């Protein structure tokens, strides 16, 4: 694969290096990186994105170097992270999942297939902060569960709709990217990245202690992933919801019930606060 002449996905100003950059570069050598992408079940290994030299160096300096010992500790089964380690790990996950969700991402293993974000309906720049010393934009969330071996996959117990929002001249598609971080002997961590600006989400497994929010979170707390029970089925699914049309200036800053497994977005009133109509999503 080559990204020659392709725009960097981080700065969107400079051309990418021909080889781009790995979405995660914990693997020690280029040879191991290529071999691993064809020999493990981790779909993130072997994934690359267009990145220029400056942004590639910034990603390494800001995320990868600090995260390497922490991620290797987690891979080896070290699931209890002190606050500083937890902050480093969460920042690395957010960066890695975001880059892997980019539509320009390419995988070395043709058997791997991961969904990508539809950026035409993401009006804010959700990647530029990665190459600078800035905080992530609002509207990004991460949840993690522990996952073991699975047999038959029943229907998920919970479904949370992710609508398309039409408000104040913009159309925003709520969307998700889910992937597993395979561990050596402790199963896997299944991590959901969700983009949902302006509308909170209530994760049904979080109050039950079976899921943990990684982002946003209080960075002063210990992160104990080992306290999560191992789930052998996927209990929560994110479904594509309908298009919600809001009255002018009725969306931003408005208090409304969080999206949850109890949310029902029907085409008939009563509608959520500020919504004037609910329609089917185009396409």
Q: How does pLDDT run along the chain (283 residues), one tens digit per residue?
A: 688 889 999 999 999 999 898 888 655 444 444 444 434 445 566 789 999 999 999 999 999 999 999 999 998 889 999 999 999 999 999 999 999 999 999 887 666 667 899 999 998 899 999 999 889 999 999 999 998 876 667 789 999 999 999 999 999 999 999 998 888 877 899 999 999 999 999 999 999 999 999 999 998 999 999 999 999 888 999 999 999 999 999 998 667 899 999 999 999 999 998 999 999 987 5
Q: Positive or negative CA dihedral for 67, 183, 210, 23? A: positive
Model pTM?
0.90
Q: Which two tokens stand for residue 107?
A: 């995988």
Query: At what angle are helices 65-75 and 83-101 packed, to 10 degrees?
Result: 100
C-alpha distances (whole Å) from 242 to each of 84, 173, 245, 283 are 40, 10, 10, 11
Residue 261 contacts residue 178 (beta carbons within 8 Å): no
């Amino acid at each position: 694969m080559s990204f020659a002449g392709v725009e960097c996905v981080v700065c969107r100003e400079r051309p990418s290096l021909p080889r781009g950059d790995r979405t995660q570069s914990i693997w020690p050598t280029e040879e191991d990186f290529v071999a691993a992408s064809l020999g493990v079940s981790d779909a993130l290994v072997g994934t690359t994105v267009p990145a220029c030299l400056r942004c590639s160096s910034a990603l390494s300096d800001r995320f990868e170097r600090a995260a390497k010992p922490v991620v290797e500790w987690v891979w080896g089964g070290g699931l209890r992270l002190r606050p500083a380690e937890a902050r480093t790990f969460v920042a690395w996950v957010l960066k890695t999942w975001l880059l892997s969700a980019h539509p320009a991402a390419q995988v070395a293993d043709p058997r791997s297939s991961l969904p990508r974000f539809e950026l035409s309906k993401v009006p804010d720049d959700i990647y530029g902060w990665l190459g600078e010393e800035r905080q992530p934009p609002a509207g990004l969330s991460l949840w993690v569960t522990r996952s073991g071996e699975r047999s038959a996959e029943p229907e998920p117990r919970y479904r949370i709709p992710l609508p398309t929002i039409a408000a104040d001249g913009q159309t925003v598609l709520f969307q998700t990217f889910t992937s597993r971080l395979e561990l050596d002997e402790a199963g896997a961590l299944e991590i959901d990245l969700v983009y949902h600006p302006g509308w909170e989400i209530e994760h049904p497994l979080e109050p039950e202690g079976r899921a943990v929010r990684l982002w946003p979170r209080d960075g002063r707390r210990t992160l104990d992933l080992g306290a999560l029970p191992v789930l052998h089925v996927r209990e929560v699914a994110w479904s594509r919801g309908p298009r919600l049309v809001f009255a002018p200036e009725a969306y931003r800053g408005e208090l409304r019930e969080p999206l949850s497994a109890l949310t029902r977005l029907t085409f008939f009133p009563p509608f959520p606060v500020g919504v004037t109509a609910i329609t089917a999503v185009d396409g």
